[in-house]
Structure 1
């Protein structure tokens, strides 16, 4: 166990319960790994469900794709944590289905079918591998100013999802019921309370404890439905190219562009992860993370799953709990593999009511924004030029998310691209940083406030 209360190079003191290479005892590591699983499970299951529903897959096809999403997420997480040669960052990064690809893959599926989706996923994946290979040359385009803005936008654009699920889930008949909001509020309050008012395992497992409390309280409220458990099978066998594969140039182009955006998200997540332990990511860690994204997304396409990327909510969980141990995240990967092979177990977890997950998501998604804000505040000279880039990028990124009708006059394919706040805001930060005079340089020393805190 590593408890660091000394100021780091950026002048910021940080409390870390377990550092990256620390190994908590299994009685702590296992529940902490489950906590990571619960933090990302909703997205890992919901995103394939959204895509499958939008392109009209049958219930059997949908269930199979969800199981493969869990299996591939687990394998990709293990590769990212422990690496295979240069593939993997060797950092506590949880992998799962990328939200960036949801709208593009729906468009591809509706235009060309499911086989074309997997063809585009496989063929376009090397884009991210190439970005990783040339990261030394490209890294100047991704300074802390740009990556910090991307991390902030990830958190900001996830906020509507957290609120929707807190209210009962998108499209739910009971959306906004006081019962839903009260349950979400209970989970939120429990997570904050255990994290701030308790020490040791009770503090670092605060989100898991809050979710369990919410799960139990949901039973007498009639919000827990376990009917799917009896209907689910015991074993799901992975079958490569179960739905075939097709290749269409326009589909590949759309997917390739999405991989570029996902690279920016991964770069931001790696910076956020290492930022929790008070240091910047190395070039090898960045390259390994991008390689893992690319190769494991290609693997996902072969095994009937959608592209995988780093999960930002788990970066938020690391910052919230102070637990950055690779062992904990590796355990999460193992659980994902198990869930991908045993549908009944997955159904039990999937039965968790939306308000319970929403209450936890409010905390975690907010922490993602806070981590991005810390990257910018601690590592960037906040002069007029850099503040302008942050302001314009965030306003445009959030603006297209909350006012999508503003771009309805564009062609449909362009609307898909411009409707992504992460894409619009991230590209804006990237372009402005490249063309405006000066640079998004890292601060060379502590600010006057930090110097005062250090001397005090």
Structure 2
């Protein structure tokens, strides 16, 4: 027996070329998600084109810093898992509401930044308590939540496949859908008929090939590259010193709770996929990275940060589990924030091409959730009910976005997130069926932390979809 145990794949450093290309794949997978919130909020504020470019670059820069915190870690901060962090979309609705309620739009961003700073700091302090909820996430809950993450993301891919602008004449055209289908087919062919390094970067090659196919069709826009500056830096508090208003702070604190709930589910999902289950300590460290990253982000003009679920699908599909690959992706994000011209290269990839790749990535997450449910004891009627009701509750905002339209705006921050509502439903139902009354004696559905099982050892991970 070797005196030095083999290094876990999560901690392995790959050759430079593989590290760079795999890291770039992660950036390509999450780019559209990280730039959408600043574009939406910036448009609501009424920023100029140059200011929108600055705000987008700032969000890329802060996403890179938050990714460093999450993957490399400092002290008790960072899950040290292959997590990409970026601007959470859960904050878009309340941030636009803050903009609408601000008389002078020049104060809107400072008010948002002040609220995010406070919410981030409070979340950082609450992380050690919040992480204890992991004992209520047995396979029947985590499998349901992982499935919901994938299902919730699939409509995003479908929207990308139709085109970037719902009001455009070519939205949902045969050209756009054909590009998405071609990209999907290229990725599938590469995954089926290649091996090794090429197979692992199939998504990146599919994005490149899809973009090349789009050029003669006139779908690719090189305008962002021509107009972008080579060098830029998100100067601290560019839009003004943060302002602290109670209503805005309360609103962003609610978003922080939602974000922490989703991040907990994401960490549990990724822990299963990379064969390093997330225990309380890992989740607490990951939540500290999320919340500290959020608190620091406004300093450089960014927004609240959270783990990006779509990148979990990339890890599940490629089986490249190294956190240093994702840290390399974080370096690319920082570079893009400092070099708008570099950021614009990713922006050249047409949205339908991203949609075709997204079907594979997000579908892989849902498939991983189903594989977790396979070992969740579904031969028991109680577990079937938990999964059935939680999935139904989580799918409501996906299939019927206006279902909760009569509820207060604050409540809708939670209710309109299928991941959050499905997760809460699964946890509550698991409590009712397995932690109260006669159900509390059930042991085969409990989380390993309740049985004393070692959470750091290997578990059977879902197979590659």
Question: 2:171 maps to what in 1?
Answer: 175
> Is contact 2:59-2:87 (8 Å) kept?
yes
Question: 2:152 maps to what in 1?
Answer: 157
* Aligned counterparts, 1:193-232, within 5 A: 193-232=189-228
Deviates more, 1:285-294 or 1:227-236: 227-236
Which of the residues 346, 352, 355 maps onto 1:355? 352
TM-score by length of structure 1 reads 0.89
Change (3 A) 1:222 1:137: closer
How far the C-alpha of 1:80 sits from its partner, in A, is 1.1
Mapped to 2, the partners of 1:322 and 1:280 lie a distance apart of 16
1:383 aligns with 2:373: no
How far the C-alpha of 1:159 sits from its partner, in A, is 1.5
Question: 2:446 maps to what in 1?
Answer: 441
Mapped to 2, the partners of 1:57 and 1:105 lie a distance apart of 15
Question: 1:240 maps to what in 2?
Answer: 236
How far the C-alpha of 1:321 sits from its partner, in A, is 0.5
> Is contact 2:211-2:349 (8 Å) kept?
yes
Change (3 A) 1:76 1:395: same
* Aligned counterparts, 1:264-279, within 5 A: 264-279=261-276
Report the 3-state secondary structure (helix = DSSP H, G, I; strand = E; otherwise coil) of the residue aligned with 1:64: helix
> Is contact 2:137-2:447 (8 Å) kept?
no
For each residue in 1:192-246, what CA deviation from the matched residue of structure 2 results, as whole angstroms up to 9, or x when unmatched? 2211221101111110110010011111111111122222212221222222322
Change (3 A) 1:183 1:149: same
TM-score by length of structure 2 reads 0.87
> Is contact 1:67-1:343 (8 Å) kept?
yes
Mapped to 1, the partners of 2:343 and 2:280 lie a distance apart of 36
Deviates more, 1:270-279 or 1:20-29: 270-279
Question: 1:7 maps to what in 2?
Answer: none
How far the C-alpha of 1:366 sits from its partner, in A, is 1.0
Which of the residues 291, 300, 303 maps onto 2:300? 303
Change (3 A) 1:379 1:221: same
How far the C-alpha of 1:136 sits from its partner, in A, is 5.7
> Is contact 1:127-1:259 (8 Å) kept?
no
Change (3 A) 1:50 1:352: same
Question: 1:64 maps to what in 2?
Answer: 54
Change (3 A) 1:394 1:287: same
Question: 1:10 maps to what in 2?
Answer: none
Gaps of 5+ in 1: 1-17, 446-450, 452-456
Question: 2:121 maps to what in 1?
Answer: 126
> Is contact 1:186-1:214 (8 Å) kept?
yes
1:107 aligns with 2:97: yes
How far the C-alpha of 1:170 sits from its partner, in A, is 4.0
Change (3 A) 1:134 1:174: same
Question: 1:8 maps to what in 2?
Answer: none
For each residue in 1:153-209, what CA deviation from the matched residue of structure 2 results, as whole angstroms up to 9, or x when unmatched? 222122111001111124132111111111111111111221122110111111011
Report the 3-state secondary structure (helix = DSSP H, G, I; strand = E; otherwise coil) of the residue aligned with 1:405: coil
> Is contact 2:86-2:308 (8 Å) kept?
yes
For each residue in 1:292-349, what CA deviation from the matched residue of structure 2 results, as whole angstroms up to 9, or x when unmatched? 0000000112221111111111111011011101221111111111001000111121
> Is contact 2:258-2:414 (8 Å) kept?
no
Work out the number of aligned pairs and report it. Answer: 431
Report the 3-state secondary structure (helix = DSSP H, G, I; strand = E; otherwise coil) of the residue aligned with 1:222: coil
Mapped to 2, the partners of 1:373 and 1:102 lie a distance apart of 30
Gaps of 5+ in 2: 1-7, 103-107, 454-459, 461-465
* Aligned counterparts, 1:307-456, within 5 A: 307-379=304-376, 383-436=380-433, 437=436, 438=439, 440-442=445-447
Mapped to 2, the partners of 1:380 and 1:290 lie a distance apart of 29
Change (3 A) 1:28 1:124: same
Report the 3-state secondary structure (helix = DSSP H, G, I; strand = E; otherwise coil) of the residue aligned with 2:375: helix
